[in-house]
Amino acid sequence: MTPKVAIQGIKGSFHYQAATECLGQNIEIVECDSFDKTVKSLLNNSSDLIVMALENSIAGSILPNYALIDRFQLHIIKEHYIDIQQNLMMFPNQKWEDLQEVHSHPMALLQCKQFFEDFPNIKLVEDTDTASTARRIREQKLKNIGAIGSKSAAELYGLEIIQHSIQTMKVNSTRFVVLSLSENKTEKSKLTKASLKFQVDHKRGSLATVLNVISDCNINMTKIQSLPIIETPWKYAFFVDIIFEKYEDFEKAYKLLSIMAENFRVLGIYESKNTNISNIGN
């Protein structure tokens, strides 16, 4: 049976690119206009999996998405990194001189602001989404209007890329995760990374003690992110990513942390992907 995969956005978006690269082409995309609705689709069985962005190498962590994973007790079963390349595209058979307006998501316009400083005659117009703009240009055969988006959006909607990689920061990658209602079924020998969530007491050295346990178990912490606990002012939950060579080391750390830390939970155990920019997408 073809798995149904929920994404925030539509086909041609960077979430769509991440989903097809990570899970293959034999999937059915469930388009949602918010991250909350991707979770809702999973909970009501309208989808089998979610592909969700968690952090960007420039903008940092997407904190509300960490909260969604924790609140609904979702499981991270895979991670995937893609290199974000913003391309300028138009309806086919037009010239650069024909371009009068560029429509795209505000973030995409901001990422490409420096490029357009050399073309003050081009009007920049904020839109709801990168891929939906590309689709509208194709469906309505809009002339003199460009869109900013992924290469897959141009291919999917039959637009012509007139300028590649126009974003100011050329090295810009986003980490996506695949979420499920069930735990990862991958054999333990292939599991090399885990995402954890916990709280600590308001005592001096409490966090340091937990982090020392991780280090003493031959585990490397690759990320730590704090998130306020709304119900308890001035108290924080910590989200930590760790990598390990031996699953036994993780099991040892798990036993200790489940005793030492408050509200300890494993958000997912999965295979670590190489984040080297030359290997993104592999």
Q: What pLDDT shows up at residue 129?
A: 83
Assign 262 to helix, strand or coil.
Answer: strand
Hey, what are 267's tokens?
């958000």
Residue 209 — left, alpha, or beta (φ > 0 → left; ψ -120 to 50 → alpha)?
Answer: alpha
CB distance 179 to 76 below 8 Å: yes
* pLDDT surpassing 60 at residue 194: yes
pLDDT score for 229 = 84
- Residue-level pLDDT at 187: 93
Q: Which domains does the chain have, with CATH numbers?
A: 4-83+172-180 (3.40.190.10), 87-163 (3.40.190.10), 188-270 (3.30.70.260)
Q: What is the pLDDT of residue 172?
A: 87
Q: What pLDDT score does 274 carry? A: 62
User: Across residues 119-141, what is the average pLDDT?
Assistant: 93
For 30-74, how does the pLDDT look when each residue is reduced to its tens digit (9 = 90+)? Answer: 999 899 999 999 999 999 999 999 998 887 889 999 999 999 999
Query: Is the model's pLDDT at 275 over the cut of 80?
Result: no
Torsion sign over Cα 179, 185, 188, 189? negative
- What is the pLDDT at residue 279? 38
Percentage of the chain exceeding pLDDT 70: 97
Name residues whose C-beta falls within 8 Å of residue 231's C-beta, 6 or more positions apart in sequence: none
Q: Report pTM.
A: 0.89
> Residues 133-192: pLDDT tens digits?
999 999 999 999 999 999 999 999 999 999 999 999 988 899 999 999 999 999 999 999
Backbone angles phi, psi at 83, to 5 degrees: -85, 120
pLDDT in tens, 239-273: 999 999 999 999 999 999 999 999 999 999 999 98
Distance (Å, whole) CA 278 – CA 282: 9
DSSP 3: P
Pairing of strands 87-90, 75-83: unpaired
Per-chain mean pLDDT for the chain: 92
Q: Tell me the mean pLDDT in the region 201-205.
A: 77
